[in-house]
Structure 1
Amino acid sequence: MRIKDASQVWVLRDAQIRGGLCLRPVAEGHWLSGLLVDADRRRRGLAGQLLAQVRASVEGPLWLFCAPALGNFYRARGFRDCQTLPPALASRLARYARSKSLLALCNAGPDPC
C-alpha cells in the first residue's frame, strides 16, 4: 500500500497491526486506495470493522476499485457499482483497466454515481 502526503491511514491493532486502509482525498470525498488484513486474521470481520469506522468518521462518498471477485464483499458493506467517477478517478481507472479487470464502487446515497 503506497501512502501519499494527503492520505489518511487507518490501522486496526492489538499487540500487532492486524489490518489497515488508506484513504486519499478526491473530489468531495475519498478514494479507498488500499485495504489489507493480516492473512492469519482474515474472515473475522476486521475489514468490515475498518470500513464501518471509516464510513462513520469521514464525510462524503468513498470510491474504490477492486477485482471483480471482491465486488460482493464490498456490496455487502453498502458499496454500489459506479458508472460515473470524479475525473481524477476516471482517468486512473482507465489507465489501470488497460492491464486488469476492475470494478468501480462507491458508497454514497441511493444513486451514488
Structure 2
Amino acid sequence: DNVTTIGSAVIVTELENIDKLTIPGTVKKLERSAFNETPLGKVIIEEGVEEIGDYAFTDSYYTEIHIPQSVKYIGEFAFRCSELNTDGKIYIKKGSYAEEYFSQYNGDYDGAKIIVQE
C-alpha cells in the first residue's frame, strides 16, 4: 500500500508474457527502464501516477497502454520498440500532457496507434 515508486528494471525479461499489468494510482513514479524488455499485454496506469521514466516500457511490445490525465512527465523513449509494434495501442486523454507528448508522432508511435479519448 505504501509503494510510491517502481524502480529500474524491476521485472526480469525471462518471464512469460504478462497478460495484464495494473499500476495503481498510489505509485507516483515509474523509474528509468522499469519494465524495459518485459513482454506485456494490456497495461493500465491508474489515475494518480505522475511520472513515466526514460525507457520505462521500451521493447515491451505491449498490446495496449492506458495513460491517465495525472501523468505530467514522460521520459525519453519511454514506449519505444526496436521493431514495429503494429498490434499496440496507446490510449491517452484529450487535453493531457500525454496528448501533447505524443502529438509529435502524428497518431503512430513505432507502429502503435495513438488513441485520444475524451
Task: Please report the TM-score for the alignment, with normalisation by the length of structure 2.
Answer: 0.33
Question: Higher relative contact order at CA 8 Å, sep ≥6: structure 1 or structure 2?
Answer: 1
Task: Please report the TM-score for the alignment, with normalisation by the length of structure 1.
Answer: 0.33
Give the structure with higher Rg (CA): 1
